[in-house]
Amino acid sequence: MDAATPSPPTGSPLFSRIRLAVPSDVPHIHKLLHQMAAFENHSHVCSTTESDLSAHLFTSPPFQSVTTFILEVSTKPFPEDSPHNSNANYIPVVRMLNSEHPVDDPDGEIFKSEDENVVVAGFVLFFPNFPSYTGRPGFFLEAFFVRKCYRRKGFGKMLLSAVAKQAVKMDYCEVFWLVKNWNVNAMRFYEDMGAQTVERKIYTLTGDALQLHQNDD
């Protein structure tokens, strides 16, 4: 090969896109939530249905209430005529990386997206909160998940960065989330991104304990 000729790219190209979820994404969000619950050993309490998600995820404008970013991947460039390229509320984030080996995606068929050759690889679900000590809104990150075969490729950082960038754009003061005590890899990942721990104990009032208060004066 001539010295002036550039070397061909190595590895397998993998294109990624982060975009706003739409109602047709509900089946994928539902499956991702249940995979996340299994990963966190919470399958026994995960009762979310597609009907629940359809009823609550798209009732308000994006970023004003519950909002979901979808992570998609493809071995080919995303089609220019994709309807997901023209959302007025959010410009999709598109990247390309060279993976050392092709990704073996055992669930690729059930996570096929609307665009050809595109699969859903992860998501993040978040909504506004109000840290009272700052007097300014922030985002609370409720669910954050990348499917196993797409981890350690920078996609988690892309998703979290997309939420953080939106927070900055809206002049919000923080992005806040919880992590399991045993998930050391996640803690290390978050700290590498500059996140700090906050000493708090989390309580929840749910199920029968919640219903006991329905007649309180």
Catalytic residues: 190
* Secondary structure in 3-state letters for 45-111: HCCCCHHHHHHHCCCCCCCCCCEEEEEEEECCCCCCCCHHHHCCCCCCEEEEEEECCCCCCCCCCCC
Tell me, rounded to whole angstroms, the distance of Cα 206 from its chain centroid: 25
d(CA 67, CA 167): 12
Cβ atoms 101, 152 nearer than 8 A: no
In this structure, the chain runs to a length of 217
- Cβ burial, residue 72 (10 Å; 0-12/13-18/19+): buried
